[in-house]
Amino acid sequence: MQGSTWSDGIVGLLTGLGLPEMLALGIAYGIGAFILVNFGMISALLLIWITRKAISRMQDRLGPNRLGPYGLFQTVADAAKLISKEIITPSQSDFLAYNLAPVLSVFGALMLLAVVPFAPGLIGVDLNIGVLFVVALGSIGVMAALMAGWGSNNKYALLAGFRVVAQLLSYEIPMVLSILTVVLLTGTMSFGRIVEAQSLTIGGLNLGIGWFGVMMPAAMLIFFISSLAEAELTPFDLLEAESELIAGFHIEYSGMKFAMFFLAQFVNAWILSALMAILFLGGWQGPGVGLPVIGPILGFGYFFVKAYAVYVLQQWVRGTFPRVRIDQMMYFAWKVLVPAIVGLIVAQAIAQKLPFPDPVIYAIIFVANIAAIWLVATMLQRYIKGESLRTKRSFEPTSLIGTMQEAKEYAMY
Amino acid sequence: MLSQYAFILIMSSIALILPVAAILMGHMLGPRRPDAVKNAVYESGVETIGDTWVQFRAQYYLIGLVFVVFDVEAIFLFPIAVAYEQLSMFAVFAAIFFVLLLVVGLLYDWRKGALEWQ
Amino acid sequence: MPFPLPPLPTIGQLVFTGIALFTCASALGVVLARNLFHGALALVATLFGVAALYVMLEAEFLAVSQVLIYVGAISTLIAFAIMLTRSMMYGKTSPLNRQAGKTGLFAVLIFLALFGFVQSIPWPASAAPVLANESMIAALGEQFVTNYVIAFEVLGLLLLVALVGAVMLARDN
């Protein structure tokens, strides 16, 4: 039984005051849960600011810069505005599905925080099945999208709801399987122990840089790509394609109900980047986390730096890439990512059973990962080549079809 | 272990109450002046024709089916991955065979064009 | 004291009662909902309730697989199936039909039979201590590929058949 250490202090304090242990534990958990949930809600404000700043810098704009230093209070003002706006309920919406959807989508995002290890010993609960808990909570988001799409009685919303579900389901498989590579390596599904396994002890000193991402870059990349899709960010944002679907499944929501979807989306994106930091970038591991007092504080800092760095990376991709088509989205998930990650898992499973010392096995896994990246890159290159040729052909006057040279100058497109 | 889930229970009740409270606050603070046009279904300013339902592709259903299969596969692989250190060679091959069976299924769907978005 | 008070329920019992009531209520919702989509939503709630009961039995892996497979995948499929067919999406079905009386009778009979079984069977209690934490999941995984390897591979075959069958289904559409 690995007790989460953060609650022990509060419980000790309360039992010292004469409260029964059960009640003390309940109060401690209540405080912890309240802090976590509010952390999620408030960090969304910061995340929105980071997103807007990052994207606008990429597009050569300034972004919010009026309210507070660097426009930091812009999102606070936006939240205040959203809270005072009229909540419009479309006339033919379904009461149950329409109103439950925003609540559930926030619920699904916030509950993920329960298993995120922030620092050594600082984790809501270190569940034995933590990894699967995260994946299972994702299904609440799927249900919420379906409910919103169906409940608001709008053609666009319903269409977007379908697309969301198709995309989330398709990318859940590569994501789950890329997490499986980590579980295969560590033999544990608890986030606490996965992070602990990423230490690198040399001469009795924990350097904390045994990150799995170094050894398994392909798995990390696949996790990152699928997390982009799960967070509905730009290369995969065809669910809210403004030119086709107006806004996505939350088109009929306004005021606070819309804000809930917005919040859930940002919290989700952040937690997915935090998960990548935990699974592949060592979480709170880093040089000096083994030190007695300063270690946990350093770890806390490392974790947040990594999580926000991955988040900014997500926004970078979002600001750079064009949107994919729905058939490309499907192609990429089922014909590129799933075969690549299944091959990786089989290769890793065989490598781990080879009668070699550990460093050799790790080297083999690394080589397999590089091979997987190379394979994916070649497949994509071939696909893009074919696609650009096809596009070119379709814009050509019919009389000229067939006279065109075999894509020598495809790089132009 | 149950005390861990007590935390989950407490946290889930807070995580449910907070958004509900936020929405209710929005209801109280915001104005409320509904009218027929405002509450109408939004469709880029055009009046809606027919009902919401449009003919959907059966493809969505197919993707759902393929997803179920791979979801079940993944969930069975997780405990095996946890136990991987203590597995014998025979058990490892059994697990790999299980994965390969599904790869065959994926290849079949691929060949039949089921993964294509037509 | 004139009335002997029953012993106070423990927190565990209270939570169990709450979950059980929630599960039963949403299960009733599945059968009684006039709108099929609401029925599907109630089904999701029921499955969540059952998962919570698994957690109370300390079978966390079972609980999480229940949520993953039934809530995440099967319910989505059901919702898709409802939305794909026009009549199902808008039709308000009545929870009662001509067979309601007979089915109700059978439901009661089955309940009585199950109740009798639960009461009369001496449930075997395993002498071995319950494995703690992760070793339980590891033991489960090991059983899949050692003692139950045939069943496990047959399951893989079944999933393969499902993949093939999915294509056949979509072809017909």
ipTM summary value = 0.89
Ordered by start, the domain boundaries in chain A are 1-84, 86-324
Average pLDDT over residues B73-85: 89
How many domains in chain B? Answer: 1
pLDDT at C25: 94
Residue B113 at interface with chain A, using a CB cutoff of 8 Å = no
- With beta carbons under 8 A apart, name residues in chain C contacting B69: 159, 162-163, 166
Backbone dihedral region of B58: left (phi > 0), alpha (psi from -120 to 50 degrees) or beta? Answer: alpha
Whether A113 contacts A40, CB under 8 Å: yes
CB contact under 8 A, B33 and A36: no
Render pLDDT for C112-147 as a digit per residue (tens, 0 to 9). Answer: 999 998 888 887 776 666 666 677 888 888 888 888
Query: Which of B90, B101, A2, B71 has the alpha carbon at shortest distance from C142?
Result: B90
Domain assignment of residue B117, yes or no:
no
Beta strands in A160-248 (DSSP E): 201-202, 205-206
* Residues in Cβ contact with B97 at an 8 Å cutoff, skipping those fewer than 6 apart: C153, C156
| Closest alpha carbon within chain A to C83 | A150
- Tokens representing A343 are 């091959």
Chain C partners of B67 at a C-beta cutoff of 8 Å?
73, 76
Instruction: Name which of A30-39, A86-95, A390-399, C101-110 the model is least confident about.
Output: A390-399
pLDDT at A245: 65
Inter-chain residue contact B56 with C83, CB threshold 8 Å: yes
At A308 the pLDDT is 92
| B74/chain C closest Cα distance in angstroms | 10
| Domain harbouring B69, CATH code | 1.20.58.1610
Q: Report yes or no: C40 and C82 within 8 Å, Cβ to Cβ.
A: yes
Task: State chain A's mean pLDDT as an integer.
Answer: 82
Residue C121 has what pLDDT? 82
Measure CB to CB from residue A338 to each of B25, B48, B106 and give the nearest one: B106
Of A39-53, A274-288, B32-46, C153-167, the range with the lowest mean pLDDT is B32-46
HEC sequence for B55-87: CCCCHHHHHHHHHHHHHHHHHHHHHHHHCHHHC
Mean pLDDT in residue range C152-170: 86
Q: What integer is the mean pLDDT of A177-206?
A: 84
- Asked if the structure places residue B116 within a domain, the reply is no
Which residues in C lie closer than 8 A to residue A132 (C-beta atoms)?
A: 61, 64-65, 68
Which of A101-105, A398-402, C25-29 has the lowest average pLDDT?
Answer: A398-402
Question: Are C35 and A147 contacting, i.e. CB atoms less than 8 angstroms apart?
Answer: no
Chains near C with 3+ CB pairs less than 8 A apart are A, B
| pLDDT reported for residue C112 | 94
B62 touches C163 (CB < 8 A): no
Chain A contact for C44 (CB, 8 A cutoff): yes
Q: Residue range A380-400: average pLDDT?
A: 75
Element (H or E) spanning A394, and its range?
helix A358-394
CA of B117, closest CA in chain C: separation in Å?
A: 12
- Using the CB atoms, write b or e for B64-74: b if 16+ within 10 Å: bbbbbbbbbbb
Range of the domain at B69: 2-111
Please report whether residue B36 resides in a domain: yes
Interface test with A, best of C13, C76, C85 (most A CBs within 10 A): C76
Give backbone dihedrals phi and psi of B17, rounded to 5 degrees, phi first: -70, -40
Q: How much is the average pLDDT of A14-20?
A: 75
Please tell me which of A199-213, A282-296, C21-35 the model is most confident about, judged by mean pLDDT: C21-35
Residue of C nearest to A135 (CA): C68
Asked whether residue B15 is assigned to any structural domain, the reply reads yes
Entry pTM: 0.88
Average pLDDT over residues A361-367: 88
Pair A274, A97: CB distance under 8 Å: no
CB–CB of C58 and B1 under 8 A?
Answer: yes
- Contact flag B94-C68 (C-beta cutoff 8 Å): no
Phi-psi region of A60 (alpha: psi -120 to 50; beta: other; left: phi over 0): left
Q: For A264, which residue in chain B has the nearest alpha carbon?
A: B19
Judge whether A183 is closer than 8 Å to chain B, CB to CB. Answer: yes
> pLDDT-based confidence at A300, cuts 50/70/90?
confident
CA distances from C56 to A239, B8, C108 (A): 38, 12, 27
